[in-house]
A and B are shown apart, each in its own frame.
Chain A
């Protein structure tokens, strides 16, 4: 089942913070976060593994609540370059077959 992302869209001023949430109804082994700019491929940001291991971008942080099957992506001191659509991809069977949410569109204004 497709994970649910919230909010669907958010508008920020440069320097403001944002949180994007991803919630699944299935038990998860990992959550993968990507950012996609219009007309481009999704770019890897962060992977969170069951058990607490994280790999990813230095300036972006995320959490994974295994009990609630939820993940949150934290964007702090946003920059114009953070604009894009953020997707979470969930892996329920440890096979790398990602199921993506519908996306959160983030716009950062000067």
Chain B
């Protein structure tokens, strides 16, 4: 157990809808990173939040957006869902941004887009 929690566990949506995924970071961690993991692939970096500000973004379109709250929990929002968005969405928390630190993953949210 890493202390990182995510909700919901599973989600089914249809194309064009939007979705919000939630992540609670481990106690004492102020950085949350989001990853998308397609079946049979490694996690792909979406973006990172540090102290409520976006601190780096991967190669994902603007319809992927996020928030981080004062308690360091975070949300990932995806609008205009496409079938290719079907994946396991992982969040990982760490203690500090801008330095090398271990990232601890939550259990993930499995999103299916029909």
Contacts and interface: CB of A to CB of B under 8 A. Distances in A.
Nearest to B105: A41
B45 A91 contact: no
How big is the A interface, by class? 20 to 34
B42 A100 contact: yes
A102 B42 contact: yes
Interface in B47-71: 48, 55-56, 58
Nearest to B41: A102
Interface residues of B, number: 28
A44 B94 CA distance: 12
Contact of A94 (B98, B102, B107): B98
B102 A98 contact: no
Interface of B: 2, 31, 33, 35, 40-45, 48, 55-56, 58, 90, 94, 97-108
25 contacts: A2-B42, A30-B100, A32-B103, A34-B105, A41-B2, A41-B90, A41-B106, A41-B107, A41-B108, A42-B90, A42-B105, A44-B105, A89-B42, A89-B43, A95-B48, A95-B56, A95-B98, A96-B31, A96-B98, A96-B100, A96-B103, A97-B56, A98-B45, A98-B103, A102-B42
